[in-house]
Amino acid sequence: MDYSKWSSPSFSCSISLFHRGDSISNFLVIIILIFCAVLLFLTAVWIQQSVKRKKKSSGIPQGTILYSDLNVPATPLFSRRHRLTGKPDYILSKQNQCIPVEVKSGKGPYPHQNHILQLAAYCQILEDTSGEFVPEGILVYNNVPYTIPFDPKLRFELESVMKTMRASLRKSSVPRNHDEPGRCHRCSMRRYCTDILIENP
């Protein structure tokens, strides 16, 4: 058998080109991976700085942000014990305690009762999911924070409201509990409501 072809210049050249092409491919893969890593790092830095700017401009108190739903949609929190789910705007670590923060808009007087109950629900969810005592929550209106104690009175009120809501869900119809056309106008369920105070479009 003639083995001379194995040492021919053309064959040696093809082997050399193969290795050279393989090296170029590996180099390109490394460059792409480095580029992706840098891009992810810069994105993470941008998100972190954006959260800090929003926190400062929104009047959010000092503390480490553990969770945010304002810049990037966050995973909902869920309490199996109370069958509640929700996403607070922020969760702060303040003096080794987790504090839910909700940023609101609207006219005074502040704070609004429905916002207090929403915040109370977040306190309860956070307490159930973390296993830690949550002493309070914070509502922010026009860059002004309002600390809402999650005390026994508010806990009882939250429990009472949840029982009323669940009882209402078992009914075939639920009467309107207000006489405010503005609330009907802003309600996401107005197209389905038969007791609405304004005309549906």
User: In 3-state terms, what secondary structure has residue 21?
Assistant: helix
Over the stretch 25-45, which tens digit does the pLDDT of each residue have?
A: 777 878 888 888 888 888 877
Over the stretch 101-129, which tens digit does the pLDDT of each residue have?
A: 999 887 777 899 999 999 999 999 999 99
C-beta of residue 145 within 8 angstroms of C-beta of residue 59: yes
Query: Which residues, 6 or more positions from 94, have their beta carbon under 8 angstroms from its beta carbon?
Result: 61, 62, 63, 64
Q: Where are the alpha helices (DSSP H) in the chain?
A: 9-57, 113-130, 152-169, 181-186
User: What confidence score (pLDDT) does residue 51 get?
Assistant: 58
Q: Where residue 6 falls among pLDDT bands split at 50, 70, 90?
A: very low
Q: What is the average pLDDT value for the chain, to the nearest integer?
A: 82
Q: Which tokens belong to 157?
A: 């009120």
Q: How far apart are CA 92 and CA 103, in angstroms?
A: 13
Quick one: CATH architecture of 64-170?
Alpha-Beta Complex (3.90)
User: What confidence score (pLDDT) does residue 3 get?
Assistant: 47
The residue that leads in pLDDT, 176 or 152, is 152
Q: Which tokens belong to 128?
A: 């159930």
Q: Name which of 116, 117, 63, 72 is nearest 91 in CA terms.
A: 63
Over the stretch 40-81, which tens digit does the pLDDT of each residue have?
A: 888 877 766 665 555 555 567 778 889 988 877 889 999 999
C-beta of residue 78 within 8 angstroms of C-beta of residue 58: no
pLDDT at 175 over 70: yes
* Three state DSSP letters for 52-106: HHHHHHCCCCCCEEEEECCCCCCCCEEECCCCEEECCCEEEEECCEEEEEEEECC
Over the stretch 185-195, which tens digit does the pLDDT of each residue have?
A: 888 888 888 88
Q: How do the domains of the chain map onto residue ranges?
A: 23-57, 64-170
pTM over 0.85: no
Highest averaged pLDDT of the listed ranges 5-9, 58-62, 88-92, 179-183: 88-92
Q: Where residue 201 falls among pLDDT bands split at 50, 70, 90?
A: low
User: What confidence score (pLDDT) does residue 132 get?
Assistant: 94
Look up residue 138 and give its DSSP letter: E
pLDDT at 13 over 80: no
